[in-house]
Chain A
Amino acid sequence: KNEVEQSPQNLTAQEGEFITINCSYSVGISALHWLQQHPGGGIVSLFMLSSGKKKHGRLIATINIQEKHSSLHITASHPRDSAVYICAVPLSGGGADGLTFGKGTHLIIQP
């Protein structure tokens, strides 16, 4: 079973700061997922990546398959970015049998 570790668990920053959240996993994977959960509880998929780097607006996700490590970056952070960010990988590496999740990073961006 894949194990996922995220850091930091909690992060408070000022508006405009560059944010980095880290994720490491134990077993080789087909793809890694970054998810966002807002205080209302809904979960939204931000990225799914299997190599290199992806960018959506101010969000950037990178993955290093050899080191089993991924990072999520937020540039020019804004209070609306405040949420829990969750890293997830396939339970058994392949992906069809569901995901296993990190415990999440609780991010607060202060104005």
Chain B
Amino acid sequence: NAGVTQTPKFRVLKTGQSMTLLCAQDMNHEYMYWYRQDPGMGLRLIHYSVGEGTTAKGEVPDGYNVSRLKKQNFLLGLESAAPSQTSVYFCAIGRGGLGEQFFGPGTRLTVL
């Protein structure tokens, strides 16, 4: 039982390149979230999903796209990476409302 996993753990991109971050869960939770963490800013919500086939925008969605084709996977895409997207990305899962959230180990992304 791995809980929440994220792939890859580290990545360096050049400006303009694209990539996809994968979040996978084996806890059967409906809700999945993508956050980014930047120094001095705290964690901020990028996009989230309340179930298979659904996605919604969070606080800072610009420059990112997401998909939830399978309940256990939530993908975060960067179509054309920018240096401002250098950050640590965390996936989290939960049951929404009064449920606690469980976080993945994070992906450290650097865009040069």
A binds B: yes
Main secondary structure of the interface of B (DSSP, over half): strand
Q: Would A96 and B41 count as touching, CB distance under 8 A?
A: no
Per a CB cutoff under 8 Å, which of B40, B59, B99 touches A91? B59
Per a CB cutoff under 8 Å, which of B40, B101, B106 touches A45? B101
Per a CB cutoff under 8 Å, which of A4, A31, A43 touches B90? A43
Main secondary structure of the interface of A (DSSP, over half): loop
Contact-residue bracket for chain A:
20 to 34
Q: Would B42 and A102 count as touching, CB distance under 8 A?
A: yes
Interface residues of B (CB under 8 A from A): 31, 33, 35, 40-45, 48, 50, 56, 58-59, 88, 90, 96-103, 105-106, 108
- Report B-chain residues with C-beta under 8 Å of the C-beta of A45: 100-103
Q: Would A101 and B43 count as touching, CB distance under 8 A?
A: yes
Shortest C-beta distance, B86 to chain A (Å), equals 15
Q: Would A42 and B33 count as touching, CB distance under 8 A?
A: no
Say whether, besides A103-B40, A103-B41, A97 and B48 are in contact (CB < 8 Å): yes
- Report B-chain residues with C-beta under 8 Å of the C-beta of A4: 42
Say whether, besides A41-B88, A41-B106, A42-B103, A96 and B96 are in contact (CB < 8 Å): yes
CB 8 Å contact bits of A35-79 with B (1 = contact, 0 = none): 100000111110010100000000000000000000000000000
Q: Would A99 and B59 count as touching, CB distance under 8 A?
A: no
